[in-house]
Amino acid sequence: MKRSSLAPDTYEKLEPIEDVRLAVCEAGIRYQGRKDLLLCVFPQHTTVAGVFTKSRTASAPVEISRKHLQGEKARALVVNAGNANAFTGMRGMDAVQKTIAATTSLVGCPPEEVFVASTGVIGEPLQPEKFTHLLSDLHQNLKVDTWHEAAQAIMTTDTYPKLAHHTVKMDAHKVRINGIAKGSGMIAPDMATMLSFIFTDAPIAANVLQPLCEAATAQSFNAITVDGDTSTSDTVLVFATGGATKHGVKEITALDDPRAQDFAGALNTVMRDLAHQIVRDGEGATKFIAIHVSGAENDKAARTIGLSIANSPLVKTAFAGEDPNWGRIVMAVGKSGEAADRDKLSIRFGEHLVATQGEVHPEYEEAQGAAYMKNQDLDIFIDVGVGTGKFTVWTCDLTHDYISINADYRS
How far apart are the C-alpha atoms of 115 and 46, rounded to whole Å? 12
340: contact with a copy of itself by CB under 8 A:
yes
Closest listed residue to residue 296, CA positions, set 338, 353, 343:
338
Between 168 and 345, name the residue whose CB sits nearer to a copy of itself.
Answer: 345
**Interacting residues with a copy of itself between 182 and 201 (CB under 8 A):** 185-186, 188, 190
How many residues touch a copy of itself under the rule CB under 8 A: the total is 75
**Which is closer to a copy of itself, CB of 32 or CB of 411?**
411
**How far is residue 207's CA from residue 255's CA, in Å, rounded to a whole number?**
9
Counting contacts by CB under 8 A, is residue 121 touching a copy of itself? yes
- CA dihedral sign of residues 183, 189, 195, 200: positive
| Residue type for position 235 | T
Neighbour count for residue 34 (Cβ, 10 Å): 14
- Residue 130, Ramachandran bin (φ over 0: left; ψ between -120 and 50: alpha; else beta): alpha
Residue 181 or 320 with smaller CB distance to a copy of itself: 320
Please select the residue that binds a copy of itself; options are 357, 376, 377, 388, rule is CB under 8 A: 357
Kind plus residue range of the DSSP H or E element containing 383: strand 377-383
Q: Which of 193, 232, 286, 395 is catalytic?
A: 193
What is the pattern of x (binds a copy of itself, CB under 8 A) and - over residues 201-230? --------------------------xxxx
Is 193 a residue of the active site?
A: yes
Using CB under 8 A as the binding rule, whether residue 387 contacts a copy of itself is answered as no
By CB under 8 A, residue 385 contacts a copy of itself: no
DSSP 290-358: EEEEEEESSHHHHHHHHHHHHH-HHHHHHHHTT---HHHHHHHHHHT-S---TTT-EEEETTEEEEETT
Cβ 317 to a copy of itself shortest distance, Å: 4
| 195-200/235-240 β-pairing | parallel
Q: Minimal distance in Å, beta carbon 286 to a copy of itself? A: 11
Under rule CB under 8 A, residue 116 binds a copy of itself: no
Of these, 28, 334, 350, 387, which contacts a copy of itself (CB under 8 A)? 334
Minimum separation from the CB atom of position 341 to a copy of itself (A): 9
Cβ-contact 344, 364 below 8 angstroms: no
Nearest CB to a copy of itself, comparing residues 198 and 398: 398
Please identify, among the stretches 3-11, 145-153, 238-246, 305-313, the one whose residues bind a copy of itself according to the rule CB under 8 A.
305-313
CB of 158 to a copy of itself, least distance (A): 16
Region binding a copy of itself by CB under 8 A among candidate stretches 20-28, 66-74, 289-297, 337-345: 337-345
- Rounded Cα gap, residues 375 and 76, in angstroms: 43
Instruction: Please identify every residue annotated as catalytic.
Output: 193
